[in-house]
Amino acid sequence: TALSSSPHSVYFTAYVGDGAEIINGKEVAPHSMPYMALLENKQGPFCGGTLIHPKWVLTAAHCYKYSFKVMLGVHNIQKAEKRQIRKVQEHYLHPCYNAQEKVNDLMLIKLDEPVTETDTVKVLPLRKNEDPAPGSTCLVAGWGKTGSSSTKGSDVLMAVNVTVIDRPKCNSEKYYNFDPTITRGHICAGSDGKKVADSCQGDSGGPLLCRGNLVGVTSFGKGCGIIEKPGVYTFVTEEKRCKCASVKLN
């Protein structure tokens, strides 16, 4: 899956993108990632997202629920903070999203009113991204579970470094064995082979950051913290523009 942007538009580009907890991560410095969004419904927080424009949040398509709100400026879910809470005006699932094949797992959320940028709420603009090289280190963040046996997500924002794994290896019999197929619209990233590092339930929709740029959106995995089942992220890129649809950011 690809996503491209200009100052006034974002284009879903399709050529073929559930995981979600931070395994072996650490609490980030409060509000050091001010672009992080938290999606919440009546049952509580369920997904993350990234503020890419004062009125738009990018998350995963599989995070869609009938009714939810978006919170910005959150670090500790349990503490009173200067949050900005917005309702959802519109949502746009990638038109080529396929839940069974786990491709194009992207959703844009239009907020009912723009956020005000502050020290704790800031936009992370989309930039031109290259395919991260296998072996390179990226960062994933979220409020998801911190272990496969955990029954609830983390109260505080956590992050962990993950290592990019090449697609042939990720498709190999020992790893995903083409179930599902890891395409060029996916990024596999997890353990460096020595220390377990992963995302897990609750981190879905949150960012995969490489060199500080938004390169992926947390999409899926099998289990949590299993070296041979790394997290899989929908690749966010400005290139290879086979446009399925465009959404104006205004």
Domain co-membership, 140 together with 227: yes
User: How does DSSP assign 100-122, residue by residue?
Assistant: TTTBS--EEEEESSPPPP-SS--
| Cα angle value 55/208/159 (rounded, 5°) | 100
| 105 belongs to the catalytic site | yes
Q: Does residue 220 lie within any of the structural domains?
A: yes
- Cα gap 78→125, rounded to integer Å: 28
Give the CATH number for residue 206.
2.40.10.10
Domain interval for residue 48: 33-111
* b/e 38-72 (16+ beta carbons within 10 angstroms → b): bbbeeeebbbbbbbbbbbbbbbbbbbbeeebebbb
Nearest to 204 by CA among 83, 43, 64, 53: 64
Domain co-membership, 99 together with 144: no
Using CA atoms, how far residue 209 sits from 48, 169, 215, 236, in Å, is 14, 21, 6, 10
Among candidate residues 154, 199, 204, 219, the one labeled active-site is 204
Give me the pLDDT at residue 139, please.
Answer: 94
Domain co-membership, 69 together with 160: no
Q: What six digits make up the tokens of 86?
A: 């917005």
Give me the pLDDT at residue 25, please.
Answer: 75
Q: What six digits make up the tokens of 76?
A: 């500790």
Give me the pLDDT at residue 129, please.
Answer: 86
- Cα gap 142→224, rounded to integer Å: 14
Number of domains in the chain: 2
Residue where one domain finishes, among candidates 47, 77, 111: 111
Give me the pLDDT at residue 67, please.
Answer: 75
CB 249 within 8 A of CB 126: no
Among candidate residues 105, 191, 203, 219, the one labeled active-site is 105
CB 244 within 8 A of CB 14: yes
| 198 belongs to the catalytic site | no
Q: Does residue 51 lie within any of the structural domains?
A: yes
* Tens of each residue's pLDDT in the chain, 250 residues: 444 444 444 544 322 223 444 556 789 999 999 999 999 988 888 899 999 999 999 999 999 987 789 999 999 999 888 899 999 999 999 988 999 999 999 999 999 999 999 999 999 998 888 899 999 999 999 987 665 555 567 889 999 899 999 999 999 999 999 999 999 999 999 886 665 554 555 578 999 999 999 999 999 988 766 778 889 999 997 533 334 445 656 5
Q: Does residue 15 lie within any of the structural domains?
A: no
Domain co-membership, 160 together with 227: yes
Among candidate residues 5, 31, 53, 62, the one labeled active-site is 62
Q: Does residue 199 lie within any of the structural domains?
A: yes
* b/e 105-123 (16+ beta carbons within 10 angstroms → b): bbbbbbbeeebeeeebbbb
- Cα gap 128→237, rounded to integer Å: 6
| 62 belongs to the catalytic site | yes
Give me the pLDDT at residue 240, please.
Answer: 33
Residue in the block written with tokens 């400005």: 238
